[in-house]
Every structure is written in structure tokens, then in C-alpha cells.
A and B are shown apart, each in its own frame.
Chain A
Amino acid sequence: MFGFILRRVALVIPTFLGITLLAFSLIHLIPGDPVQVMAGERRLDPAFHAEVMHRLGLDRPLYEQYGVYLWKALHLDLGESFVTHEAVWSEFLKLFPATVELSLCALIFASVFGLLAGVIAAIKRGSVFDHGVMGLSLTGFSMPIFWWGLLLIMFFSVYMRDLAPDFALPVSGRMALEFDITPRTGFMLVDAWLSGDSGAFRSALSHLVLPAIVLGTIPLAVIARMTRSSMLEVLREDYVRTARAKGLSPTRVVFVHALRNALVPVITVIGLQVGTLLAGAVLTETIFSWPGVGKWLIDAIGRRDYPVVQGGILITATLVIVVNLLVDLLYGLINPRIRHAK
């Protein structure tokens, strides 16, 4: 097991270096620079432009800039934003709880409904329900996030306001604007809970519903399909037949004996969804005015805020690597065949 862990961790190092190089070179390859973007259409005095570029260290050769960036990154110094002059870490930590809160809720939504739908579809294989679930999951997987988000807003926030105002959901944001809650953790649900204002908590909860559904739709589709095929495979196993022959109740056979084993590949898939969620968060955050890291990175690319782009990509990519590493290790722990594979 130790050797397995070492091999997996060793793979992380080149991946990490690759990410730093990719993040650095991609943003520097795009024409334009932060001073120019800041000046906009206005005249930019070449001497002033050169002076600011020098001050920001952007007049040095690229390999030198990369070296400095990498050295600092290894010391956990990601620099400061060219626009706000705030440390990249500090900005990230302000915004990341919002993304985590949204992603977690989306993942819970996707896992609960995905597993349930997948299991039922497998049990009722070939039924209307099975075809329905598979059809819907394909639709969910193929649905553009932007369109899906706007569609839900139109229905649940706008039309519902006229049809059944009590069930109408907010359009966007993390909480109704009249609630002024002091952020302590950055997690709005937690902060609202800590404030002791039940109205604020309800408001935070209702603001999470639509973005979590939108962000969780693709992972839900993937989990449902994976659960179904994994369950179908397991349900054909001899030990399941034996369990049935022993007279165990169908519920016990499915949920205790079959699902437990069927979950092994599903856990890997759920782990892999972290990357999908972070990528999807970029769009979901834009639609729902959700102040997370996705929107932050998009803005930074437009403004050529190099430290934010490089730092933001590095942190999020590292998180995805870590989660995948954990899934790998967990999988190895559950399934010894993986552990011993050379």
C-alpha cells in the first residue's frame, strides 16, 4: 500500500509543474497586457506604458518571469492582483467558500438523485422508468448550462411569481439584498445560521436551489448512468442470486448486498466530478451572480491580471489533483486489485 501511495504522489509532481507552465504560458500567449487593457481605447503614452511594465516586472524575459513565479509559488506566494493590489491568496480565500458551498450542494443533489435514479433504473430495467431516466440523463448531460440556468430562472423565478408566489425562487445572488449578514466563514448558509436570523437562513437556502440544480445536472446524469450500469453488472453476480435464494428481502439484496459493490466505480466517478463542478461553476456563477472563483478567473483573463490567472488556475488545479489522488487512494483501499497492479 505504501508503494502504491508513493507512486501516486510521485505522479502529482510533474502534473503540478505542467500546470504552472501551462497556466503561465497560455495567459502570456494572448496578445495584450494589463496596462493596455486598463487604458482601454485611450491613448497610452509609450514611456508611461514601459515604466509600468517595468514596475510590474513584465519587461523581463518570459523564462525569467516564469522562474520567479515558480519559485514564489513553491513558497506559497502567488503574488498580488495587478488590479486590486490584493494578495491572490486573500482574494481566493474570500471567494472560494462560495464556490465550495455551491459545488457541495450540487454534488449532494447529483449524488442523491443520481444514485437513486440509477438504482431504480437498474432494478426496473427495460421499463418506462428506465428509459425515462436514461433519456433524461442524456438530455441533462447534453444541456448547455447557460440555457438550462436561464430556463429555470424563467420558470421558477419569473412565471412562478405569478402562478404561485409562495413557491417562487430568487433569480440570483446568495441571499436577499435586505439581509446584511457579516461574513464570518464565507459560507452563506453557515453565516446566516450563526447570525441567528432565520429569515436570512431561509433566504440563503432558497438562493442555493436553482444554482445547485443547474450545476449538479451534468454530474447527476453521469452518476445515474454509471450507477445503473454498475448495478446491472452486480445484480447478475452469483452472490446476489444466493442472497435472493436465502430469502432476503429485495430491498436488503439491492441496497445492502448489491449497491455496496456497485458503488466502487461510482465513487471514482463522483470524485472525478469535482473537476466538472469547478469548470461548470464558471458558467453557473455568471448566470446566478454567484461570487465565486469561476467569475474571478474569467474577469482576470480579460484584464490580463496574470498573478490572479496563474495563481487561481494553480490552486484550483491542485485541488482537483488532490481530490483525484484521494479518490485513487480510496479506490486502492476498497479494491486491492488496483493497489497491486503494476
Chain B
Amino acid sequence: MKLLHACTLSALCLATQAHAVNLTVCTEASPDGFDIVQYESAVTNDAAGLTIYDQLLLFKPGTTEVIPGLAEKWEVSADGLNYTFHLRKGVKFHTTPWFKPTRDFNADDVLWSINRVNDKNHPAHGVAKNGYVYWEGMGMSGLIKSVAKVDDYTVRFTLTRPEAPFIADMAMSALASIYSAEYAAQLQKTRQLEAINTQPVGTGPFVFKSYQKDAIIRYTANPSYWGGVPKIDNLIFAVTLDPSVRVQRLKAGECLVGTNMRAETAAAFDGDKNVQMMRMNALLTAYIAPNAKHKFTSDKRFRQALWLALDKKTYIQSVYGGNATPAASFLPPGMWSFDKSLANQYDPEKAKALVKAVGYDGTELSLFTRVGGSIDGKRAGELMQADWAKVGIKVKVQMMEWGELLKRTGKGDHDITFLNWAGDNGDPDNFFTPNLVCDAVEGGGNKSQWCNKQFDALVDEARKTSDPKKRTELYLKAQKLVYDEVGTIPAVFPEYMTAVNRRVSGFVQSPFTNNDFRRVSVK
């Protein structure tokens, strides 16, 4: 590395650098840090979880299928409580100016990575001063009873209850990224454990080089990556907040990839000979949450009227520029067990009749929406307002900032709100448990405040069942129940868009809306 650094000043190396293959990526935000388990934002996930770190398991590119990662194979005990992972041998940690590994990856690294987050008494637990919000949000601390080293290359997790999505959880970067225990010991010795957030070391495809705050992150290809050396020499993330500026940077060739492109910029590359807009139906559902605890919206018929009155065709055209499809299920189409038989409903006349039957007295209801975000919340709210006015429902659109929206909808202040849910681990449980079960009402995740014991029982049973066929049956029933009871109103399935220069090949969009560049090459 020193050599490389010295190299940058010499003419010879400048010439070499000029021939280096760079992949420049325009990202929509800055990463929160590089200690991935402390954070959950999509950009942090891309900037740390899928570059610097590897996970025990990985997702097959472009799918939700779990494939071997740092664990080559795994077994589950008959009672579903023990998961044994057999680790890959010969995996090297990154060599950086701040750390020179003396050994390969082994079971100690897995133990350190999991215990550090899960065990409050672990010496490195306190590094995350805000706690491990995502770990807690996914309910991991109540799930993992212990993790034990069987031998140098085998670890065993013991769970407190059977949990079918656990395997998928172990492929998630914010939960199962593996750190070097040797590096942690080095930092602990010098009382600099906090540096794990700024000088990260992992086994991933790219080695962290530098971060110029809020501007540029630089990585170099990991020359000893177990999954094959990346085809690019340097990966560069350029933080570019404004969506229109991201478009211009892509057009000017300053960036070769633009992540998380907004719907209104979708047409910007129509007919462009250099840049193409890739689209994907990711694990993403935009939904409307009528508060089931408030007057009128507590009535199933009223919620159904809200659904029936909504002209989704116009809504999709106006808010998403046509880049979305109407939704009828809370699960998105890319999710296994998605119920294709459920159909969207649009019948304003029936909606009028239902509103009348409920005895709605014209009370103005609140519709909470956010400023900023992935769509124009104001326009979306006004379209809903207009559609509902046509069937006699009065709604006042209340714009608020994201933090305020979370606080107030978490407390149930709203009559109606609308949000997006992006899947984390490719398991249907990840859609239902955080958003629709009774327990999630108290934690603020269940914005509909809808609580149905029958639904809870179905989801609970599916979580404990390992047979995919049986789980599918249970989730089909759960979807039908949400549909019939209008537990929430699935609005649309937005397309996830990534702008990619035609010189780039091998880039595959992920259903999790994250971005992995390990297989990408640049012509």
C-alpha cells in the first residue's frame, strides 16, 4: 500500500493509473459509516455490506435464492433450533495500511461478529452508541440464544424458537457481515475500537481505500478475493444527492452507474445511445395505511371504499411516470408465495354506496405524507384526495418531514398515510411481521394499526414451519385475509431503476434494491 501511495507521485505510475479500469457510481446519499451492523440505509449497505464485507451466506445475483458465502454449506436440526454452518477455508482478510492479517478467516471471526452485536456484555458491544437498531428491529436479539465454535471451520447457532427465515437472515449484510476478530483485538489493544467504523477490514470483493466525507468513497479490487478477483481495478462512489444532477452526470459520463433513480427521471435516457435505464420489479410495495383504530377507518367497508375509489392507472402515470403496476397483495410479485389470483379493485360507484352504508358524516380525515422521499408525496396525496372526494370522502393532505411522519404515524395520529416497504431478506415473513401483526402496533411498525388474531396465527405458524410448500399455503391464506379484511391497501409495485452506461457489463439489479459490483466489467 505504501508502494502504491508513493507510486501516485511518479510519472510511471500515473501512466499505469490512467489505464486502470475505474467504475464510477453516482449514489443518492452518503453512507452513515462503514461498520455495517450499526446501520441500515441502502447506501451504507452498498458502500460497506456488499463491497468490504462478506456474509455467511449470499443471495444469488438478481434473485432471493440463498447461496453459499463464507459458509460453504449448512444443516438445520430436526427441531429447527440448531443451525450448523461449515465455513470456507483459505479466505483472506484485506491487507490495508491499518491492518496486516496474520491468519485466514475462521470460526473465531464469526463468533466475534455475532456476539459483539448480540451479547450486551461483549467488550465491543458499546462501539455502537445508538445500539444495533436494525438487529433489534429484525428481532434477532430475542432469536439467537447462542453461537458456538464446533471447530475452527464449523459454528453452530442455537435459536430460542424455530424460525424459517433465519437462513435468509444470514445472507443479509446488516445482520451477518463477518469482521476480523484479529483486527478487532488489535484495535481493542490500542483502545481504538471506534476505528472499525472508519477504517474497515473485511473479506469482501473490494478493499476500502478512503472516504472523503459526503463526496467520494474509493475502493480497490481485492486481489485475493475467494470468489474471483473483480474485473475492475477501482470502484469509486460519488455522492450525488440531486436526482436531476445524477442524470446530468450520467449523461456527461462522469458516472457510469446511477443508483436508485427516481421515477420522474425515467424518461431522461430514452433514446440515449450511451446510457440505459434498467428496470426491475423489486421486493417493493407502496401501500396506503388507513388507521384501523380511528372512527370510520376502523370499518372494513370504509377501508374498502378507499381502495375502490382509487384510480391507480392515473396515479401510476402521474406519480411514477408509468413505472409501476397496480397492487392487490401486500407481497410483491417477485416474492415466492405471491398470490396472483388477487385482483385490484376499482369501482367508484360501489365505493359511494359503501361510504353511505357506513354512515360517514363528512368529517375531514387526515392524510399524512412526507416531504422528499422516492416520489412526489404532495402530488400523490392530492391525487388520492381528488379520487376520494369523488366518492364523498373528505381528506386533508398533511405534509411533514420524515422524522415527524415516523413519530406521528408510529403513535397512530393519522387517519390515513401511505408508505413503501422494501423487503430485507426475500422472505414473506419480512413483509407481514414488521407491518401487519398485532405486536407491531405497539412498536410503531404497523401503520394500519390493524390487529387480527387469525392473521397473526397464520404468520406465526408459517414462521415456525420449514416446509416451503406448507409455508406457501399459509402465506396465500394470509394474503387473502388482508385482502378481504382490507388490513391495509396495497397501492402499487414501483419499478426499481438503475441507470447504467453501455460500457458497463455484468451489472445485475437486485430485488433488494441494493447494488453489487463484484461481477461488473467496464469496456
Contacts and interface: CB of A to CB of B under 8 A. Distances in A.
Contact of A43 (B239, B420, B434): B434
A51 B239 CA distance: 33
A302 interface: yes
A40 B49 CA distance: 19
B9 interface: yes
A42 interface: yes
Contact of B137 (A42, A55, A161): A42
A311 to B, nearest CB: 15
Contacts of A183: 212
A95 B445 contact: no
A86 B17 CA distance: 32
A256 B410 CA distance: 67
A157 B255 CA distance: 14
A45 to B, nearest CB: 6
Given A35-B133, A36-B406, A183-B212, A171 B401 contact: no
Interface in A248-267: none
Contacts of B216: 173, 177
A42 B131 CA distance: 15
A196 B216 CA distance: 21
Interface in A34-54: 34-46, 48, 51-52
A161 B238 contact: no
Contacts of B130: 34-35, 38, 52, 55-56, 82-83
Interface string A142-186: 000000001001100110010000001011111011101011000
B404 A31 contact: yes
B192 interface: no
B444 A171 contact: no
Contacts, number: 181
B349 interface: no
Contacts of A153: 245, 248
A91 B240 contact: no
B136 A56 contact: no
A299 B33 CA distance: 14
A180 B444 CA distance: 45
B78 interface: no
Given A31-B404, A33-B403, A46-B442, A38 B40 contact: yes
A289 B248 contact: no
A289 B212 contact: no
Interface in B83-106: none
Contacts of B8: 180, 182
Contacts of A38: 39-40, 130, 133
Interface in B371-388: none
Interface in B396-452: 401-404, 406-408, 410, 419-421, 434-435, 439-440, 442-447
Contact of A161 (B18, B239, B252, B408): B252
A173 B238 contact: yes
21 contacts: A31-B408, A32-B407, A34-B130, A38-B40, A42-B134, A43-B439, A43-B445, A46-B442, A52-B131, A84-B197, A86-B198, A157-B252, A161-B252, A170-B252, A176-B254, A197-B14, A286-B242, A287-B245, A289-B240, A299-B30, A304-B403
Given A31-B408, A33-B403, A44-B444, 6 more contacts: A36-B444, A38-B130, A40-B406, A94-B213, A172-B245, A182-B8
Q: Which 5 A-B pairs have the closest CB atoms?
A: A32-B403, A43-B445, A43-B443, A291-B215, A42-B137
Interface of A: 30-46, 48, 51-52, 55-56, 82-86, 91, 94-95, 98, 150, 153-154, 157-158, 161, 168, 170-174, 176-178, 180, 182-183, 195-197, 286-289, 291, 295-296, 299, 302-304
